Amino acid sequence: MAGPRLTVKSVADILLNPKSNTTTVLHDQKYPAGNPQKFRTPYYQGSIAAVRQYYASANDTKILAHWRNKLLSIKNEARRANNVRALDVFAASPLAKRKLSPTTNRRYLATINGVAISLSADMQAMESGVLKVVYFHCRAVPLEPSAADLITNVANWVLHANSVVATPMQIEVMDLCVGRTLRASAWNASTQKSLAARAQAIAQLWMQI
């Protein structure tokens, strides 16, 4: 079968935690158990959909109220509480004042040393005529700036591999734990070198499992 395929976020996590064990992730990908076509519902898909629709409606606050009521109907207590929390933080933060117009959420793929890295951001939007590639961090623990730096740098590498030029201001992570945006201060020239080394190790592990 084809080699391993990882997302921008998962690759960034591996780079941030070089001692992390990726065997389980790769094993599940190579040997999917049960029904491989089963759709796994993302934990925070409700709150993320709410934010996207809010921006698409030109910041109509009724959209947030509608989605909050919808999120309150989630049966799982923890999931319900976490989605409502993320949406409430967004609504009360400066992020809700931004004028973003969601556009086609294009996907990109780049391969390095046998490992395919896919970019499928949570939202792509125009802001003052400039394309923004946006990821959302919805967990209850704030995202470390170093993690956001890696996510945005890896995303930029994938875009660059597809002949898409982006500035550090165009790729961001909205942290819905604290209501702020994180970006890289500059693109790290060593990103490709780090990706190449880690991808080689992942490809070797892939052949062994």
Per residue in 19-68, pLDDT (tens digit) is: 777 777 777 777 766 544 444 568 999 999 999 999 999 999 999 999 99
Cβ 112 vs Cβ 195: under 8 Å:
yes
What structural domains and CATH numbers belong to the chain? Answer: 5-208 (3.90.320)
* Full-model pTM: 0.91
More confidently predicted of 136 and 18: 136
Query: Using CA of residue 10, residue 12, residue 13, residue 14, what is the dihedral sign?
Result: positive
